[in-house]
Structure 1
Amino acid sequence: MKVLLFAQLRELLGCSELQIDGPYHHVADLRLALQEKGTLWQEYLAPGKALVAVNQTLADDRHGLGPNDEVAFFPPVTGG
């Protein structure tokens, strides 16, 4: 599964893309696994602090995931 980080998240967490393997059935599962990477990840990927899109469609934490999905996290407000 490809995980993308955009805008301020990319800058604060120091990466823009991750390739993740694992049985993540829902966005919530993936979010929790990423938050285990450290304090900044826990803070900035918390629900309400980071929106998520699955395959370029806005989703919530209950959204189901497949092994070939692209999941993007981004702050609620992004500049243009």
Structure 2
Amino acid sequence: MILVSYFARYREQLNLGGEKLPLDASLNTVDDIRQRLIARGGVWADIFSESNLMCAVNQDLCRLDQAVEDFDEIAFFPPVTGG
């Protein structure tokens, strides 16, 4: 089981802060999770198709090719700007 968390604008658009997904043989990387979310269609596809999507595994920023393991926490969030 992995915990997938959504932050900022993504949380608002999905009306969902997070969910648990069973880790199966098709989910090896963060990108595999992203592709599964895109397959849901609608707003899911809109959000997770964004080219500037940011992600983290266990609170460490990562790339989409980052491997995932059972009990990992994967977070998706829009780019952050500061001033």
TM-score after normalising by structure 1: 0.89
Distance of 2:51 and 2:19 partners within structure 1: 21
Identical amino acids, percent of aligned pairs: 34
User: Equivalent of 1:33, from 31, 36, 40?
Assistant: 36
By how many angstroms is 1:49 displaced? 3.6
CA distance in 2, matches of 1:21, 1:13: 20
Alignment: residue pair count: 79
Pick the structure with greater CA Rg.
2
The corresponding residue for 1:14 is: 15
Q: Secondary structure at the match of 1:28?
A: helix
> Offset of 1:74 from its aligned partner?
0.2
> CA offsets per residue over residues 17-73 of structure 1, 9 Å max, x none?
100013210011000001122221111112524200000000111100001100000
RMSD: 1.5
Match of 2:73 in 1: 70
Moved over 3 A (4+): none
Gaps (5+ residues) in structure 1? none
| Distance (Å, rounded) in 1 between the aligned partners of 2:66 and 2:50 | 13
- In the superposition, the TM-score normalised over structure 2's length comes to 0.86
